[in-house]
Amino acid sequence: MVVAKPFRFTAFCICLVPYIVILEAKETVRKPPHVVFILADDYGWNDVGYHGSEIRTPNLDKLSSQGVRLENYYVQPLCTPSRNQLMTGRYQIRTGMQHQIIWPCQPYCVPLQEKLLPQLMREAGYATHMVGKWHLGMYKKDCLPTRRGFDSYFGYLTGSEDHFTHYRCSLIPPQNLTRCALDLRDGEEVATGFTGQYSTHLFTERVTGIIAKHDPQKPLFLYVALQAVHAPLQVPKRYVEPYGFIQDPHRRVYAGMVSAMDEAVGNITQALRDTGLWGNTVLVFSTDNGGQTLTGGNNWPLRGRKWSLWEGGVRGVGFVASPLLAFPGTVSRELIHISDWLPTLVLGVAGGSTNGTQPLDGFNMWKTIRKGTSSPRLELLHNIDPLYDDVAPCPGRESTLTLAPALSQGQWSDSGFNVTVHAAIRYKSWKLLTGYPGCDHWFPPPRLSNGSETSRPASPLKPVMLFNVEADPEEKQEVSEKHPEVVNFLLARLWHYQKASKPIVFPDDDPRCDPGPTGAWGPWE
């Protein structure tokens, strides 16, 4: 009797062991998952149904409700910087691209020594395709997506073009002549014949075509950088019709654009299901920055907007949907940043290698997303930009200069860091902002009225501001005086990063960018 138990136990183990081995072997031979990364443009925090928006997003709501919603997820406050960090896994200070965006005539691009995400996915055995907005530089051919890791590319190289004509207008130096020209390419060739096709439809059709043609035996990396929902505010009428109850005309058209984008995400996931790829797909949805309240976007209840380092500029809508998630239907409050996707997708999802990259700032978040383990990221440098200027200042803050007299090193003079410089850093629940962070108003949702003028004035800004953004995501309680030790620690961290920054690259416009009266925007060197 006494020995019976251990005996039975042993016998049990003998049967189990080979079974476990088989399971593990099966696990390791599983093919690398397909990766579909959908990046929305200027999509605000309060513009998705599951954040309580009046804008209807049934596909995003449903897909994310079966996935993992990332609710403590950060992006950069602008297009080029977010895309740059997504592609390099590195902070902007590492590439000299900490200032603004790449304007059409500026002769620079993401440094060519940076190894980009699609190159690494290709090395991991993936087919790599990109559809949509590049915005990472194009003055010479070596900067183009097809030279930087993508097998195929269909899209536009700059930003802000017309959604129907695919034309972009820009000033050409030195006479500041306004040039409007096509910005649409298939591979490296100019793509003509798409006039009148709405960008969201055009790009979705291209994406579903790639999915339909894809050999399921080969892992697919598909980067979909939608033009939606960036200005200009344009959308086919049928998408606006359900929004007659929104009085603000900007918000109304914007809502229609969001609906078209939501339909696009539905079509893309349907194509993945129809082809049978979905069962082994990881789909990421992310915005590139906060909403632009000047053109219909909204980040309520968060403070600020696109082009600012307030939460409304950098806290992003994002989620992961995949049958491979261990806990579908959950919300993650772990700190995750757009620079984390490179190691997450290459190491975590694809099982590849980041060999050959420069030192990464991103972390592999696959376990955090897939299994809900805690995030390895404790700190996040939002940015340091000594040249910051607000190209669309908010009412009452027409110029950063009006702030200058109030700004002095004051009690923080020992830190080494020049606190008049526009910067922000996060450590655990703390966020420190220095200099002028950008438009600091809270913009209430323009739900039922013409809300364009109703932004609540904020209290005076200080050169150094500290918030506990876990407890106070709306950045209402400035607490630097209560926690000088935290301020000093974070200023020291900023100083550490500032010393390691590459000098800003922001060249003057090159007149050779001019595509001429019949040409298209593209490489000129």
CA-nearest of 434, 437, 389 to 408 is 434
Query: Is 135 a known active-site residue?
Result: yes
> Which residue, 42 or 334, is less far from ligand NAG as judged by CB?
42
- Under rule CB under 6 A, which residues in 352-371 are in contact with ligand NAG? 353, 355-356
Minimum CB–partner distance for residue 378 and ligand NAG (Å): 27
Minimum CB–partner distance for residue 21 and ligand NAG (Å): 28
Q: Which residues contact 8 (CB under 8 A, 6 or more apart)?
A: none
Instruction: Report the alpha-carbon distance of residue 89 to residue 81 in Å, rounded.
Output: 11
CA angle in degrees (0–180, nearest 5) for 389-393-397: 100
End-to-end Cα separation, the chain, in angstroms: 87
> Which residue, 482 or 512, is less far from ligand NAG as judged by CB?
512
Which residue among 51, 99, 135, 250 is the active-site one? 135
Binding-site member from 260, 283, 309, 513 for ligand NAG (CB under 6 A): 260
Which residue among 34, 51, 79, 129 is the active-site one? 79
Whether 345 and 379 have beta carbons less than 8 Å apart is answered as no
Minimum CB–partner distance for residue 384 and ligand NAG (Å): 10
Minimum CB–partner distance for residue 277 and ligand NAG (Å): 17
Size of the site for ligand NAG (CB under 6 A): 23
413 binds ligand NAG (CB under 6 A): no
The span of 2-10, 169-177, 480-488, 491-499 binding ligand NAG (CB under 6 A) equals 169-177
Q: What single-letter DSSP state applies at residue 509?
A: P
CA angle in degrees (0–180, nearest 5) for 295-301-303: 70
CA angle in degrees (0–180, nearest 5) for 478-481-484: 115
Binding-site member from 200, 227, 280, 287 for ligand NAG (CB under 6 A): 200
Binding-site member from 84, 85, 92, 204 for ligand NAG (CB under 6 A): 204
267 binds ligand NAG (CB under 6 A): yes
Query: Is 163 a known active-site residue?
Result: no
Q: Which residues contact 223 (CB under 8 A, 6 or more apart)?
A: 37, 39, 117, 118, 128, 129, 130, 131, 132, 150
CA-nearest of 96, 102, 98, 95 to 80 is 102
Whether 172 and 139 have beta carbons less than 8 Å apart is answered as no
Binding-site member from 330, 429, 452, 488 for ligand NAG (CB under 6 A): 452
Give the x-and-dash track for 81-120 against ligand NAG (CB under 6 A): ----------------------------------------
444 binds ligand NAG (CB under 6 A): no
The token pair at 278 is 């979905």
Strand locations in 183-219 (E)? 185-186, 189-190
Binding-site member from 263, 390, 478, 510 for ligand NAG (CB under 6 A): 263
Instruction: Report the alpha-carbon distance of residue 306 to residue 99 in Å, rounded.
Output: 14
Minimum CB–partner distance for residue 513 and ligand NAG (Å): 14
Binding-site member from 10, 28, 176, 178 for ligand NAG (CB under 6 A): 176
Residue 491, Cα to own-chain centre: how many angstroms? Answer: 26
Minimum CB–partner distance for residue 63 and ligand NAG (Å): 15
Binding site for ligand NAG (CB under 6 A): 174-176, 200-201, 204, 248-250, 260, 263-264, 267, 353, 355-356, 386, 418, 420-421, 435, 450, 452
Q: Which residues are catalytic?
A: 79, 135
